[in-house]
Structure 1
Amino acid sequence: MLEFWYSDKCTRQIKLIVCIATCVMIYLCSTVQQLSPMFTGISIAIGMSLHGLRALSLKIAADNPYKKGFAILTFVMPLIALITLISMLPAEHRLMLIIQLIGFAAIGLFILSTFPKRRFD
């Protein structure tokens, strides 16, 4: 899915629609129970770090023996961080909090992934 997000096939309109849908989903879940600001900040940081790890993995040469290991690390590290955060969530309305947590991580990714392609005319 990340490959599609970063490809030319994913237009600005698609990215905007996905961002708006994610924000609406977060808002609807927050009407049941709000995610604490600490969890929100950490999940946004996880999304931003996912973008940073992907950018670093693209800088590694294709013939480098560490390329495959770094690709695995790019996938595993944010996943472990999200699972750790999910395990620390309160039990009441846990599903709504998990959806918000993943949504904020996606927002963190969206913010950084769309910024380099902006045109300031």
Structure 2
Amino acid sequence: MEKQFTQEQKYILARKRVEKITKFYKHLAVYIIVNTFLTAVFIVGDMNDGDSFNEAFLNIWNYQIWFFWGIGIVFKALNVFGLGMFFSNNWEERKIKEYMNQQDNRR
């Protein structure tokens, strides 16, 4: 049984969806800005402790916050966009057409 929504209900649902997407992009922007700043602080701190720029820049521990916070970003993206972000309903059909076009272009 399919639900029938009024225009007002459709508008409210669409608005909530757009708000979730907006919040996700704000969170993503904060993630990039804060992690860039923290990584720069970590690199400068390592350089003050005697490491060269290359040693400090290539120190993997300076980037661990990107990884752990990034896990949270991935889960938030999955919550907002769902698995359809990767495999939407028409994904298989699009891929089939893409591969067929590639075969046509090889001839």
TM-score by length of 2: 0.42
Q: Counting helix residues as a fraction of each chain, which structure ranks higher?
A: 2
Question: Radius of gyration: which is bigger?
Answer: 2
Structure having greater relative contact order (Cα 8 Å, sep ≥ 6): 1
